[in-house]
A and B are shown apart, each in its own frame.
Chain A
Protein backbone atom coordinates (compact mmCIF):
# COMPACT_ATOMS: atom_id res chain seq x y z
CA UNK A 1 0.00 0.00 0.00
CA UNK A 2 2.81 2.36 0.70
CA UNK A 3 4.80 2.35 -2.52
CA UNK A 4 7.58 4.54 -1.17
CA UNK A 5 9.91 1.94 0.39
CA UNK A 6 12.91 3.33 2.30
CA UNK A 7 16.27 2.97 0.59
CA UNK A 8 18.82 0.29 1.62
CA UNK A 9 21.04 3.03 3.05
CA UNK A 10 18.19 4.42 5.13
CA UNK A 11 17.27 0.98 6.49
CA UNK A 12 20.85 0.26 7.46
CA UNK A 13 21.13 3.55 9.31
CA UNK A 14 17.85 2.79 11.08
CA UNK A 15 19.03 -0.72 12.04
CA UNK A 16 22.33 0.65 13.39
CA UNK A 17 20.49 3.30 15.40
CA UNK A 18 22.44 6.11 13.70
CA UNK A 19 21.41 9.73 14.08
CA UNK A 20 18.54 10.46 11.68
CA UNK A 21 16.29 13.44 11.21
CA UNK A 22 13.15 12.99 13.32
CA UNK A 23 10.81 13.08 10.31
CA UNK A 24 12.86 10.43 8.44
CA UNK A 25 12.96 8.21 11.52
CA UNK A 26 9.23 8.57 11.94
CA UNK A 27 8.63 7.80 8.25
CA UNK A 28 10.77 4.65 8.28
CA UNK A 29 9.19 3.44 11.50
CA UNK A 30 5.62 3.87 10.35
CA UNK A 31 6.43 2.29 6.99
CA UNK A 32 7.96 -0.77 8.68
CA UNK A 33 4.84 -1.24 10.77
CA UNK A 34 2.79 -1.86 7.68
CA UNK A 35 5.27 -3.36 5.16
CA UNK A 36 6.33 -7.00 5.79
CA UNK A 37 8.89 -7.15 2.89
CA UNK A 38 10.73 -4.13 4.33
CA UNK A 39 10.71 -5.72 7.81
CA UNK A 40 12.30 -8.72 6.10
CA UNK A 41 14.98 -6.46 4.61
CA UNK A 42 15.68 -5.21 8.14
CA UNK A 43 16.40 -8.71 9.48
CA UNK A 44 20.07 -9.72 9.61
CA UNK A 45 21.56 -11.18 6.46
CA UNK A 46 21.54 -15.00 6.87
CA UNK A 47 24.91 -15.41 5.13
CA UNK A 48 26.52 -12.74 7.31
CA UNK A 49 25.08 -14.42 10.39
CA UNK A 50 26.45 -17.79 9.34
CA UNK A 51 29.91 -16.37 8.58
CA UNK A 52 29.98 -14.54 11.89
CA UNK A 53 28.98 -17.69 13.78
CA UNK A 54 32.00 -19.45 12.24
CA UNK A 55 34.38 -16.57 12.85
CA UNK A 56 33.51 -15.63 16.42
CA UNK A 57 35.07 -18.67 18.15
CA UNK A 58 38.24 -18.27 16.04
CA UNK A 59 38.57 -14.63 16.97
CA UNK A 60 38.00 -15.61 20.58
CA UNK A 61 40.94 -17.99 20.47
CA UNK A 62 43.34 -15.93 18.39
CA UNK A 63 45.29 -13.11 19.97
CA UNK A 64 44.25 -9.77 18.56
CA UNK A 65 47.78 -8.45 18.54
CA UNK A 66 50.83 -9.59 16.61
CA UNK A 67 53.00 -12.16 18.36
CA UNK A 68 55.98 -10.85 20.22
CA UNK A 69 58.99 -10.41 17.94
CA UNK A 70 60.51 -13.83 17.38
CA UNK A 71 64.11 -12.56 17.45
CA UNK A 72 63.60 -10.81 20.77
CA UNK A 73 62.25 -13.98 22.30
CA UNK A 74 65.18 -15.94 20.98
CA UNK A 75 67.68 -13.41 22.32
CA UNK A 76 66.10 -13.47 25.78
CA UNK A 77 66.38 -17.23 25.80
CA UNK A 78 70.12 -16.58 26.17
CA UNK A 79 70.68 -13.05 27.40
CA UNK A 80 69.13 -12.18 30.75
CA UNK A 81 66.78 -9.22 30.19
CA UNK A 82 68.57 -7.44 33.03
CA UNK A 83 72.02 -7.87 31.49
CA UNK A 84 71.58 -5.84 28.27
CA UNK A 85 72.80 -2.45 29.53
CA UNK A 86 75.68 -4.11 31.38
CA UNK A 87 76.88 -5.88 28.25
CA UNK A 88 76.95 -2.54 26.45
CA UNK A 89 78.90 -1.07 29.36
CA UNK A 90 81.40 -3.95 29.21
CA UNK A 91 82.10 -3.14 25.54
CA UNK A 92 82.49 0.56 26.33
CA UNK A 93 84.94 -0.19 29.14
CA UNK A 94 86.93 -2.46 26.80
CA UNK A 95 87.08 0.30 24.20
CA UNK A 96 88.16 2.83 26.82
CA UNK A 97 90.94 0.50 28.00
CA UNK A 98 92.17 0.10 24.41
CA UNK A 99 92.17 3.87 23.93
CA UNK A 100 94.15 4.44 27.13
CA UNK A 101 96.63 1.70 26.19
CA UNK A 102 97.10 3.27 22.75
CA UNK A 103 97.81 6.61 24.39
CA UNK A 104 100.46 4.84 26.43
CA UNK A 105 99.21 6.17 29.75
CA UNK A 106 99.66 2.81 31.49
CA UNK A 107 103.45 3.16 31.63
CA UNK A 108 104.21 -0.30 30.32
CA UNK A 109 101.20 -1.94 31.99
CA UNK A 110 98.35 -3.02 29.72
CA UNK A 111 94.95 -1.85 30.99
CA UNK A 112 93.22 -4.37 28.74
CA UNK A 113 95.07 -7.12 30.55
CA UNK A 114 94.13 -5.64 33.90
CA UNK A 115 90.38 -5.43 33.26
CA UNK A 116 89.99 -8.67 31.29
CA UNK A 117 89.31 -10.94 34.28
CA UNK A 118 86.71 -8.74 35.97
CA UNK A 119 84.64 -7.78 32.93
CA UNK A 120 82.60 -11.01 32.78
CA UNK A 121 82.03 -10.87 36.54
CA UNK A 122 79.79 -7.83 36.04
CA UNK A 123 77.83 -9.55 33.28
CA UNK A 124 77.34 -12.68 35.36
CA UNK A 125 76.19 -10.66 38.37
CA UNK A 126 73.68 -8.85 36.15
CA UNK A 127 72.43 -12.18 34.80
CA UNK A 128 71.82 -14.00 38.06
CA UNK A 129 72.29 -11.69 41.01
CA UNK A 130 69.59 -10.23 43.21
CA UNK A 131 71.17 -6.78 43.12
CA UNK A 132 70.98 -6.31 39.35
CA UNK A 133 68.19 -8.65 38.15
CA UNK A 134 64.82 -7.39 39.43
CA UNK A 135 62.97 -10.58 38.45
CA UNK A 136 65.40 -12.94 40.22
CA UNK A 137 62.80 -14.44 42.53
CA UNK A 138 60.29 -14.99 39.75
CA UNK A 139 62.96 -16.68 37.63
CA UNK A 140 64.19 -18.84 40.49
CA UNK A 141 60.71 -20.35 40.90
CA UNK A 142 60.36 -21.47 37.27
CA UNK A 143 61.28 -24.85 35.82
CA UNK A 144 63.99 -23.26 33.63
CA UNK A 145 65.94 -22.03 36.66
CA UNK A 146 69.04 -24.11 37.18
CA UNK A 147 72.26 -25.03 35.41
CA UNK A 148 70.98 -24.96 31.79
CA UNK A 149 69.65 -21.39 32.05
CA UNK A 150 72.72 -20.36 34.05
CA UNK A 151 75.03 -21.63 31.31
CA UNK A 152 72.95 -19.99 28.58
CA UNK A 153 73.16 -16.63 30.34
CA UNK A 154 76.87 -17.03 31.11
CA UNK A 155 77.57 -18.02 27.50
CA UNK A 156 75.83 -14.87 26.31
CA UNK A 157 78.05 -12.78 28.61
CA UNK A 158 81.18 -14.48 27.30
CA UNK A 159 79.91 -14.08 23.73
CA UNK A 160 80.17 -10.34 24.29
CA UNK A 161 83.26 -10.18 26.52
CA UNK A 162 85.56 -12.55 24.59
CA UNK A 163 85.14 -11.03 21.09
CA UNK A 164 85.50 -7.58 22.64
CA UNK A 165 88.74 -8.56 24.33
CA UNK A 166 89.97 -10.36 21.21
CA UNK A 167 89.55 -7.17 19.22
CA UNK A 168 91.21 -5.24 22.02
CA UNK A 169 94.18 -7.60 22.17
CA UNK A 170 94.64 -7.43 18.40
CA UNK A 171 94.68 -3.64 18.57
CA UNK A 172 97.15 -3.55 21.46
CA UNK A 173 99.28 -6.46 20.28
CA UNK A 174 98.54 -8.64 23.30
CA UNK A 175 98.42 -12.43 22.98
CA UNK A 176 95.05 -14.01 23.87
CA UNK A 177 96.86 -16.58 26.01
CA UNK A 178 97.60 -13.83 28.51
CA UNK A 179 93.99 -12.91 29.27
CA UNK A 180 91.70 -15.76 28.14
CA UNK A 181 92.30 -18.15 31.05
CA UNK A 182 92.10 -15.49 33.81
CA UNK A 183 88.90 -14.25 32.17
CA UNK A 184 87.29 -17.72 32.11
CA UNK A 185 88.58 -18.56 35.59
CA UNK A 186 86.95 -15.44 37.02
CA UNK A 187 83.68 -16.21 35.24
CA UNK A 188 83.53 -19.75 36.58
CA UNK A 189 84.86 -18.56 39.93
CA UNK A 190 81.97 -16.11 40.30
CA UNK A 191 79.46 -18.88 39.63
CA UNK A 192 81.20 -21.34 41.95
CA UNK A 193 81.55 -18.88 44.82
CA UNK A 194 78.01 -17.72 43.99
CA UNK A 195 76.67 -21.24 44.51
CA UNK A 196 78.08 -21.05 48.03
CA UNK A 197 77.40 -17.47 49.14
CA UNK A 198 75.24 -15.95 46.39
CA UNK A 199 76.26 -14.42 43.05
CA UNK A 200 76.09 -10.78 44.12
CA UNK A 201 78.34 -11.35 47.13
CA UNK A 202 80.67 -13.50 45.04
CA UNK A 203 81.02 -10.73 42.45
CA UNK A 204 81.78 -8.12 45.10
CA UNK A 205 84.34 -10.36 46.83
CA UNK A 206 86.11 -11.27 43.58
CA UNK A 207 86.26 -7.73 42.24
CA UNK A 208 87.53 -6.44 45.58
CA UNK A 209 90.16 -9.20 45.74
CA UNK A 210 91.24 -8.41 42.18
CA UNK A 211 91.61 -4.71 42.88
CA UNK A 212 93.54 -5.24 46.12
CA UNK A 213 95.76 -8.11 45.05
CA UNK A 214 96.50 -7.32 41.40
CA UNK A 215 95.41 -3.87 40.26
CA UNK A 216 96.71 -1.84 43.20
CA UNK A 217 100.24 -3.37 43.27
CA UNK A 218 100.45 -3.22 39.48
CA UNK A 219 99.69 0.48 39.42
CA UNK A 220 101.83 1.17 42.49
CA UNK A 221 104.93 -0.53 41.07
CA UNK A 222 104.22 0.07 37.36
CA UNK A 223 104.88 -3.51 36.37
CA UNK A 224 102.52 -6.30 35.41
CA UNK A 225 101.78 -8.67 38.26
CA UNK A 226 103.12 -12.24 38.12
CA UNK A 227 99.50 -13.41 38.23
CA UNK A 228 99.11 -12.16 34.65
CA UNK A 229 102.35 -13.70 33.49
CA UNK A 230 102.29 -16.71 31.18
CA UNK A 231 103.92 -18.71 33.97
CA UNK A 232 100.70 -18.43 35.98
CA UNK A 233 98.69 -20.31 33.33
CA UNK A 234 98.57 -23.64 35.23
CA UNK A 235 97.26 -21.84 38.30
CA UNK A 236 94.42 -20.24 36.33
CA UNK A 237 93.61 -23.60 34.71
CA UNK A 238 93.47 -25.16 38.17
CA UNK A 239 91.11 -22.45 39.44
CA UNK A 240 88.92 -22.99 36.38
CA UNK A 241 88.64 -26.74 36.97
CA UNK A 242 88.05 -26.32 40.69
CA UNK A 243 85.27 -23.83 39.92
CA UNK A 244 83.58 -26.21 37.49
CA UNK A 245 83.71 -28.97 40.09
CA UNK A 246 82.12 -26.74 42.75
CA UNK A 247 79.34 -25.73 40.32
CA UNK A 248 78.63 -29.38 39.50
CA UNK A 249 78.41 -30.32 43.17
CA UNK A 250 76.33 -27.30 44.16
CA UNK A 251 74.14 -27.16 41.03
CA UNK A 252 70.90 -27.34 43.01
CA UNK A 253 71.70 -23.95 44.57
CA UNK A 254 70.76 -22.36 41.23
CA UNK A 255 67.21 -23.71 41.39
CA UNK A 256 66.40 -21.70 44.52
CA UNK A 257 67.07 -18.36 46.14
CA UNK A 258 70.42 -19.37 47.68
CA UNK A 259 72.51 -18.43 44.65
CA UNK A 260 70.75 -15.07 44.19
CA UNK A 261 72.01 -13.52 47.41
Chain B
Protein backbone atom coordinates (compact mmCIF):
# COMPACT_ATOMS: atom_id res chain seq x y z
CA UNK B 1 0.00 0.00 0.00
CA UNK B 2 2.93 2.33 0.72
CA UNK B 3 6.17 2.12 -1.18
CA UNK B 4 9.04 4.51 -0.61
CA UNK B 5 12.43 4.41 -2.28
CA UNK B 6 15.40 6.56 -1.22
CA UNK B 7 13.03 9.08 0.25
CA UNK B 8 14.67 12.33 1.33
CA UNK B 9 12.52 15.04 2.89
CA UNK B 10 13.47 18.45 4.23
CA UNK B 11 12.03 19.94 7.40
CA UNK B 12 12.91 23.60 7.09
CA UNK B 13 16.55 23.73 5.96
CA UNK B 14 17.50 20.43 7.58
CA UNK B 15 17.17 17.09 5.78
CA UNK B 16 14.98 15.26 8.34
CA UNK B 17 14.48 12.04 6.37
CA UNK B 18 17.62 10.86 4.62
CA UNK B 19 17.17 8.04 2.19
CA UNK B 20 14.42 5.85 3.61
CA UNK B 21 13.37 2.81 1.59
CA UNK B 22 10.44 0.81 2.88
CA UNK B 23 7.32 -1.08 1.87
CA UNK B 24 4.27 -1.18 4.12
CA UNK B 25 1.22 -3.35 3.55
CA UNK B 26 -1.87 -4.16 5.57
CA UNK B 27 -1.37 -4.26 9.33
CA UNK B 28 -0.19 -2.02 12.12
CA UNK B 29 3.27 -0.56 11.63
CA UNK B 30 4.93 1.04 14.61
CA UNK B 31 7.26 3.90 13.75
CA UNK B 32 9.76 4.17 16.56
CA UNK B 33 12.67 6.43 17.21
CA UNK B 34 13.97 9.14 19.52
CA UNK B 35 12.68 12.70 19.26
CA UNK B 36 14.07 14.36 16.17
CA UNK B 37 14.61 11.09 14.31
CA UNK B 38 12.31 12.18 11.48
CA UNK B 39 9.13 10.33 12.46
CA UNK B 40 6.82 13.32 12.08
CA UNK B 41 8.45 14.41 8.82
CA UNK B 42 8.07 10.89 7.41
CA UNK B 43 4.39 10.70 8.45
CA UNK B 44 3.70 14.15 6.98
CA UNK B 45 5.27 13.00 3.74
CA UNK B 46 3.08 9.87 3.70
CA UNK B 47 0.08 12.15 4.38
CA UNK B 48 1.12 14.09 1.23
CA UNK B 49 1.36 17.46 3.02
CA UNK B 50 5.14 17.54 2.58
CA UNK B 51 6.73 16.87 -0.77
CA UNK B 52 9.87 14.73 -0.85
CA UNK B 53 13.01 16.54 -1.98
CA UNK B 54 14.25 13.35 -3.65
CA UNK B 55 13.24 9.74 -4.06
CA UNK B 56 10.01 8.05 -4.96
CA UNK B 57 6.85 7.59 -2.93
CA UNK B 58 3.82 5.64 -4.07
CA UNK B 59 0.81 5.50 -1.75
CA UNK B 60 -2.16 3.28 -2.69
CA UNK B 61 -1.00 2.73 -6.24
CA UNK B 62 -0.22 6.41 -6.83
CA UNK B 63 -3.41 7.78 -8.37
CA UNK B 64 -4.43 11.42 -8.55
CA UNK B 65 -3.51 13.07 -5.22
CA UNK B 66 -7.05 14.32 -4.59
CA UNK B 67 -8.52 10.82 -5.03
CA UNK B 68 -5.74 9.46 -2.85
CA UNK B 69 -6.46 11.86 0.02
CA UNK B 70 -10.04 10.63 0.22
CA UNK B 71 -8.64 7.23 1.19
CA UNK B 72 -6.22 8.49 3.84
CA UNK B 73 -6.83 9.19 7.51
CA UNK B 74 -4.37 11.46 9.29
CA UNK B 75 -3.92 12.54 12.89
CA UNK B 76 -1.19 15.19 13.13
CA UNK B 77 1.07 15.28 16.15
CA UNK B 78 -0.49 18.53 17.31
CA UNK B 79 -4.15 17.88 16.79
CA UNK B 80 -5.52 21.38 16.25
CA UNK B 81 -9.30 21.62 16.64
CA UNK B 82 -12.09 24.17 16.87
CA UNK B 83 -13.08 24.54 20.51
CA UNK B 84 -16.54 25.88 19.73
CA UNK B 85 -17.50 22.80 17.71
CA UNK B 86 -19.20 19.78 19.24
CA UNK B 87 -17.58 16.38 18.74
CA UNK B 88 -20.19 15.53 16.12
CA UNK B 89 -19.84 18.85 14.29
CA UNK B 90 -16.08 18.58 14.19
CA UNK B 91 -15.97 15.02 12.88
CA UNK B 92 -18.68 15.90 10.34
CA UNK B 93 -16.66 18.94 9.23
CA UNK B 94 -13.61 16.76 8.61
CA UNK B 95 -15.83 14.30 6.72
CA UNK B 96 -16.86 17.24 4.51
CA UNK B 97 -13.21 18.23 4.01
CA UNK B 98 -12.60 14.63 2.95
CA UNK B 99 -15.33 14.99 0.33
CA UNK B 100 -17.50 12.20 1.68
CA UNK B 101 -20.97 12.04 0.10
CA UNK B 102 -23.44 14.07 2.22
CA UNK B 103 -25.84 11.19 2.77
CA UNK B 104 -23.12 8.96 4.27
CA UNK B 105 -21.82 11.56 6.71
CA UNK B 106 -24.23 11.30 9.71
CA UNK B 107 -23.93 7.51 10.00
CA UNK B 108 -20.17 7.51 9.41
CA UNK B 109 -19.70 10.22 12.05
CA UNK B 110 -21.79 8.29 14.57
CA UNK B 111 -19.83 5.12 13.94
CA UNK B 112 -16.44 6.83 14.25
CA UNK B 113 -17.51 8.49 17.52
CA UNK B 114 -18.76 5.16 18.88
CA UNK B 115 -15.53 3.41 17.94
CA UNK B 116 -13.53 5.79 20.12
CA UNK B 117 -16.07 5.52 22.95
CA UNK B 118 -17.34 9.10 22.87
CA UNK B 119 -20.99 8.44 21.98
CA UNK B 120 -22.19 9.92 25.29
CA UNK B 121 -20.20 13.14 24.70
CA UNK B 122 -21.01 13.46 20.99
CA UNK B 123 -22.96 16.69 21.39
CA UNK B 124 -20.64 18.36 23.86
CA UNK B 125 -18.36 21.19 22.79
CA UNK B 126 -14.73 20.27 22.35
CA UNK B 127 -13.64 22.87 24.91
CA UNK B 128 -15.41 20.87 27.63
CA UNK B 129 -13.49 17.64 26.94
CA UNK B 130 -10.38 16.37 28.70
CA UNK B 131 -7.04 15.90 26.93
CA UNK B 132 -7.56 12.17 26.49
CA UNK B 133 -11.02 12.71 25.01
CA UNK B 134 -9.69 15.34 22.58
CA UNK B 135 -7.09 12.83 21.45
CA UNK B 136 -9.91 10.33 20.84
CA UNK B 137 -11.79 12.94 18.78
CA UNK B 138 -8.56 13.15 16.77
CA UNK B 139 -8.68 9.41 16.16
CA UNK B 140 -12.39 9.60 15.27
CA UNK B 141 -11.81 12.28 12.62
CA UNK B 142 -8.98 10.19 11.17
CA UNK B 143 -11.11 7.04 10.78
CA UNK B 144 -14.39 8.69 9.74
CA UNK B 145 -13.80 7.94 6.03
CA UNK B 146 -12.81 4.28 6.65
CA UNK B 147 -9.30 5.01 5.35
CA UNK B 148 -7.17 2.42 3.61
CA UNK B 149 -4.08 4.18 4.88
CA UNK B 150 -4.28 5.52 8.43
CA UNK B 151 -1.45 7.72 9.69
CA UNK B 152 -1.36 8.46 13.41
CA UNK B 153 1.37 10.69 14.82
CA UNK B 154 1.77 10.07 18.57
CA UNK B 155 -1.87 9.03 19.08
CA UNK B 156 -1.35 7.74 22.61
CA UNK B 157 -0.14 11.09 23.96
CA UNK B 158 -2.57 12.19 26.66
CA UNK B 159 -4.38 8.84 26.98
CA UNK B 160 -4.50 7.24 30.42
CA UNK B 161 -3.37 3.60 30.82
CA UNK B 162 -6.87 2.13 30.44
CA UNK B 163 -7.56 4.23 27.35
CA UNK B 164 -4.24 3.15 25.89
CA UNK B 165 -5.18 -0.50 26.29
CA UNK B 166 -8.50 0.13 24.54
CA UNK B 167 -6.70 2.11 21.85
CA UNK B 168 -4.37 -0.82 21.16
CA UNK B 169 -7.41 -3.06 20.64
CA UNK B 170 -8.81 -0.51 18.18
CA UNK B 171 -5.47 -0.45 16.36
CA UNK B 172 -5.49 -4.21 15.92
CA UNK B 173 -9.09 -3.97 14.65
CA UNK B 174 -8.19 -1.23 12.15
CA UNK B 175 -5.03 -3.01 11.04
CA UNK B 176 -7.08 -6.01 9.89
CA UNK B 177 -8.06 -4.27 6.67
CA UNK B 178 -6.00 -1.08 6.47
CA UNK B 179 -2.38 -0.03 6.47
CA UNK B 180 -1.96 1.72 9.81
CA UNK B 181 1.22 3.67 10.57
CA UNK B 182 1.58 4.74 14.21
CA UNK B 183 4.49 6.84 15.35
CA UNK B 184 5.30 6.64 19.01
CA UNK B 185 8.18 6.74 21.40
CA UNK B 186 6.53 4.29 23.77
CA UNK B 187 8.11 0.94 23.05
CA UNK B 188 5.41 -1.00 24.92
CA UNK B 189 2.67 0.33 22.58
CA UNK B 190 4.53 -1.21 19.68
CA UNK B 191 5.08 -4.52 21.41
CA UNK B 192 1.38 -4.86 22.20
CA UNK B 193 -0.34 -3.76 19.03
CA UNK B 194 2.01 -3.72 16.05
CA UNK B 195 2.57 -6.40 13.47
CA UNK B 196 5.66 -4.66 12.25
CA UNK B 197 8.22 -2.20 13.65
CA UNK B 198 10.13 0.48 11.73
CA UNK B 199 12.98 2.14 13.58
CA UNK B 200 14.27 5.55 12.55
CA UNK B 201 17.43 7.20 13.78
CA UNK B 202 18.67 10.54 12.51
CA UNK B 203 16.49 10.29 9.46
CA UNK B 204 17.66 6.83 8.48
CA UNK B 205 15.91 3.48 8.73
CA UNK B 206 17.87 1.28 11.12
CA UNK B 207 15.49 -1.66 11.55
CA UNK B 208 12.34 -3.12 10.05
CA UNK B 209 10.86 -6.37 11.32
CA UNK B 210 8.40 -7.92 13.74
CA UNK B 211 8.35 -6.96 17.43
CA UNK B 212 9.69 -10.47 18.17
CA UNK B 213 12.66 -9.91 15.88
CA UNK B 214 13.35 -6.60 17.59
CA UNK B 215 13.18 -8.26 21.00
CA UNK B 216 15.59 -10.95 19.81
CA UNK B 217 18.15 -8.30 18.85
CA UNK B 218 18.61 -7.25 22.46
CA UNK B 219 20.88 -8.89 24.98
CA UNK B 220 21.10 -8.47 28.72
CA UNK B 221 23.99 -6.10 27.99
CA UNK B 222 21.54 -3.53 26.61
CA UNK B 223 19.56 -0.93 28.52
CA UNK B 224 15.86 -1.68 29.07
CA UNK B 225 13.38 -3.35 31.39
CA UNK B 226 11.72 -5.60 28.80
CA UNK B 227 13.17 -7.67 25.95
CA UNK B 228 11.73 -5.29 23.36
CA UNK B 229 13.22 -2.25 25.12
CA UNK B 230 16.60 -3.98 25.10
CA UNK B 231 16.10 -4.79 21.42
CA UNK B 232 15.34 -1.11 20.80
CA UNK B 233 18.52 -0.07 22.58
CA UNK B 234 20.48 -2.59 20.55
CA UNK B 235 19.04 -1.44 17.21
CA UNK B 236 19.59 2.21 18.13
CA UNK B 237 23.16 1.48 19.10
CA UNK B 238 22.38 3.29 22.32
CA UNK B 239 25.18 3.58 24.80
CA UNK B 240 24.66 0.65 27.13
CA UNK B 241 25.69 2.38 30.28
CA UNK B 242 23.03 3.13 32.83
CA UNK B 243 22.60 6.83 33.34
CA UNK B 244 23.67 8.07 29.92
CA UNK B 245 21.22 9.87 27.64
Residues in A lying within 8 Å of B, measured CB to CB: 61-65, 67-68, 72-73, 76-77, 81-82, 133-146, 255-257
Chain A residues with CB below 8 A from B101, complex form? none
Q: Is B94 an interface residue (CB 8 A)?
A: yes
A243 to B79: give the CA distance in the assembly, Å.
32
Asked whether, in the complex, the Cβ of A134 is within 8 Å of the Cβ of B80, the reply is yes
Q: Size of chain B's interface in residues, with CB distance under 8 A? A: 39
A135 to B142: give the CA distance in the assembly, Å.
13
A73 to B102: give the CA distance in the assembly, Å.
11
For A81, give its contact among B51, B65, B76, B85 (CB under 8 Å).
Answer: B85
A-B contact pairs, 19 of them (CB 8 A): A63-B106, A63-B110, A65-B122, A65-B123, A68-B92, A76-B96, A81-B84, A81-B85, A134-B82, A135-B80, A135-B81, A137-B49, A138-B74, A141-B49, A143-B66, A143-B97, A144-B96, A144-B97, A256-B50
CB contact under 8 A between A139 and B97, given known A61-B107, A82-B82:
yes
Chain B residues with CB below 8 A from A81, complex form? 82, 84-85, 93
Residues in B lying within 8 Å of A, measured CB to CB: 44, 47-51, 65-67, 69-70, 72, 74, 76, 78-82, 84-86, 88-89, 92-94, 96-99, 106-107, 109-110, 119, 122-123, 141
Asked whether, in the complex, the Cβ of A138 is within 8 Å of the Cβ of B79, the reply is yes
- Among A61, A68, A73, the one with the most B-chain Cβ atoms within 10 Å of its Cβ is A68
Asked whether, in the complex, the Cβ of B94 is within 8 Å of the Cβ of A68, the reply is no
- Taking CB as reference atom, which chain A residue is nearest B72? A141
Asked whether, in the complex, the Cβ of A141 is within 8 Å of the Cβ of B69, the reply is yes
Asked whether, in the complex, the Cβ of B80 is within 8 Å of the Cβ of A144, the reply is no
For B94, give its contact among A72, A138, A255 (CB under 8 Å).
Answer: A138
CB contact under 8 A between A142 and B69, given known A67-B106, A73-B92, A257-B50:
yes
Chain A residues with CB below 8 A from B78, complex form? 137
